[in-house]
């Protein structure tokens, strides 16, 4: 056999081995753009208290009603901006490099600035008392 054929076969074999042992997630990019991924969680400020659950496409606008989630519909995403609806309310949001969410919307005049509440990266994933909201797999 020629050396070039052997090298090609060896390269193909090594690629096949790497493909077989690497986790599937390491071969694909995160499907969520940074602007929408950064939005996930609990945000407070300027008279607003919003919680986003991006994974479930829902949001909560009233902290006094912890189970009153509304549909979250994203209509446009760029690198740093998200246009979305929470129920009938339309918002345009940008998450700055400083970690602040700046919103404009139909529910209020002008813009509002919110800060992410730490420790609540997956809203709705914990019930009071530490129980998981997701049922255990069977």
- Which residue blocks in 1-138 are alpha helix, DSSP H? 3-21, 34-39
Q: Is residue 9 part of a domain?
A: no
In a domain, 102, yes or no: yes
In a domain, 12, yes or no: no
Instruction: Give dist(CA 11, CA 65) in Å, integer.
Output: 58
In a domain, 104, yes or no: yes
Backbone angles phi, psi at 25, to 5 degrees: -65, -25
Q: Residue 93 sits in which domain range?
A: 34-116
**Per the domain annotation, does 107 fall within a domain?**
yes
Q: Pairing state of beta strands 100-105 and 111-116?
A: antiparallel
Instruction: Over range 20-43, report the average pLDDT.
Output: 71
Is there a domain that residue 78 lies in? yes
* pLDDT band at 38; cut points 50, 70, 90: confident
* Amino acid 40: pLDDT: 92
Does a structural domain hold residue 109? yes
Task: Give residue-wise pLDDT tens across range 47-88.
Answer: 999 999 999 999 999 999 999 999 999 999 988 899 999 999
How far is Cα 37 from Cα 58, in angstroms, rounded to an integer?
13
CB 55 within 8 A of CB 123: no
Q: Does residue 32 surpass a pLDDT of 70?
A: yes
């Amino acid at each position: 056999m020629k050396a070039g054929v052997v090298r090609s076969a060896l390269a193909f074999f090594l690629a096949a081995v790497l493909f077989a042992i690497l986790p599937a997630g390491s071969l694909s990019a995160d499907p969520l753009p940074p602007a929408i991924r950064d939005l996930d969680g609990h945000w407070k400020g300027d008279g607003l208290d919003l919680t986003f659950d991006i994974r479930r496409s829902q949001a909560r606008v009233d902290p006094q009603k912890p189970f009153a989630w509304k549909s979250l519909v994203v209509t446009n995403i760029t690198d740093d901006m998200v246009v979305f609806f929470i129920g009938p309310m339309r918002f345009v949001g940008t998450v700055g490099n400083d970690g602040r969410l700046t919103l404009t919307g139909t529910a209020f005049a002008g813009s509002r600035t919110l800060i992410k509440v730490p420790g609540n990266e997956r809203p709705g994933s914990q019930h009071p008392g530490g129980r998981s909201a997701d049922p255990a797999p069977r």
